[in-house]
Structure 1
Amino acid sequence: MQQEKLQVKVRRLRRMRIIHRWLGVPLMIFFLVIGITSILLAWKKKVELLPPTQSSEVQRQGEWIPTEKMLAIAITEMDSRSLSSLVDRIDIRPDKGIAKVTFEEHFTEVQIDGYSGEILSVATRHSDWIEKVHDGSIVDFYFGNTETAKLVYSSATAFGLLLMSLSGFYLWYFPKVIRKTKQG
């Protein structure tokens, strides 16, 4: 009776090793991508993955130019570079006297002086594409539906991480149980 219980545990342990191994190989790629991009995003300001924020050179006594004019300036700049001019967001920085305009279909940022309308910087926001790789939305970035990709990618990797953790615990703990059972 004791021998049969032991054999059942050994068979389960062998099956779990196979499952753990076959899940681990493909999931390792996703875990590496998520880990590397997590480190890059955590350090994005230190390793300059974002363009440095400029400051207005104009004395802060005048009125800000209208937001519509800032958008028009940024759109004209993108059109001159033959890039899409669909605006994603505008980030107003009153303390710096600037506005940052980012776009939906590429990772370019235009920094505009809020007082004069002068373009202070046009640069790539590397942290934006790294974030899209990190959360899986890069897959659908070019196809339009980023929410579906995020859900599938995040759920699959989270479920995989849970399975790997549980099977890893099983593979660590049950050999101890089997050894204890054999000893006595």
Structure 2
Amino acid sequence: MQPHNRQQQARLLRISRKVHRTTGALLFAFFFVVSVTGLLLGWKKNSGGYIMAKSHSGTSTNLADWLPIDSLHRNALRIYRDSIRAGGSPALDRIDIRQDKGMVKFVFVDGFWGIQLDGATGRLLHIEKRRSDFIEKVHDGSILDHYFGTGSVIKLIYTTVMGIALLVFTVTGFWLWYGPGRMRRQAARSRSGAGAS
């Protein structure tokens, strides 16, 4: 290997090591949060209903037997006020219709609560604390948007920074693993070439 080429590769290794170490030090807390929340989200369906509540079944999967959505919504609001928080008109995040379960789930913005109703009778099936939604928002950074009401600005910045950081970590980590071996092989080839001549 030419001395100049070897110096360039050694310099590239030093830069890679510094970038890798600096990125890891600066974003340690964020990587920790992403890894822990990702692990929890991976296990959410196997948490015994603690992270993600079980979807309960209603009496009919035939949509023709179901009550109108506005009736179900009124019933969910009444249950919310009676069982979770009195007063006000809670904002809905979404309505999940599970026809195969005969169930409608009303998910509220405030406090990560969900109410599962029988689609045909409107009867309460389950009140759930949606921990998986909270963990998901922490995982992707949108928890700050949720509390500050900033749309998805913080989430976009956070996911961009974390995505670029992970890419930098991957590239520099690969070079820190591959570079020294490559330099040793090239040095060995140079020595054997010099010895043959």
Per the TM superposition, whether the score is higher than 0.5 is: yes
Partner of 2:154: 149
The farther-off stretch of 107-116 and 3-12 is 3-12
Shift of 1:133: 1.3
Query: How many positions carry a matched residue from both structures?
Result: 184
Q: Which amino acid aligns with 2:24?
A: G
The CA distance in 2 between the partners of 1:76 and 1:13, in whole Å, is 64
Deviates more, 1:150-159 or 1:112-121: 112-121
Separation of aligned partners in 1, 2:17 and 2:162:
19
Q: Tell me the residue number matched to 1:112.
A: 117
> Aligned residue for 1:36?
36
Q: 1:87 aligns with which of 67, 89, 92?
A: 92
Amino acid at match of 1:27: L
Shift of 1:59: 11
In structure 2, how many angstroms separate the alpha carbons of the residues matched to 1:46 and 1:169?
A: 34
Q: Do the aligned partners of residues 95 and 11 (structure 1) sit closer, same or farther apart at CA in structure 2, a change above 3 Å counting?
A: closer
Per-residue deviation, 1:164: 0.9
- Give me the whole-angstrom Cα distance separating, in 1, the residues matched to 2:177 and 2:65: 67
Taking structure 2 as the reference length, the TM-score comes to 0.79
Determine if the alignment matches structure 1 residue 161 to structure 2 residue 158: no
Closer/same/farther in 2, CA of residues 67 and 11 from structure 1, 3 Å limit: same
Equivalent in the alignment of 2:69: 67
- Paired residue secondary structure (1:45): helix
For normalisation by structure 1, the TM-score amounts to 0.84
Residue 137 (structure 2) aligns with: 132
Note if 1:100 corresponds to 2:102. no
Q: Is the 8 A contact 2:114 2:128 kept in 1?
A: yes
- Alpha-carbon offset, residue 138 of structure 1: 0.9
Which of the numbers 166, 175, 184 marks the counterpart of 2:180? 175
CA deviation profile, 1:100-127 (whole Å, cap 9, x unmatched): 1001232111111222222221110111
CA drift at 1:89: 1.4
Tell me the residue number matched to 1:77.
79
Structure 2, unmatched stretches of 5+, are 192-197
Q: In the superposition, relative to structure 1, how do residues 146 and 133 fare at CA in structure 2: closer, same or farther (>3 Å)?
A: farther
C-alpha contact (below 8 Å) 1:138/1:146 kept by paired residues = no
Structure 1, unpaired ranges of 5+: none
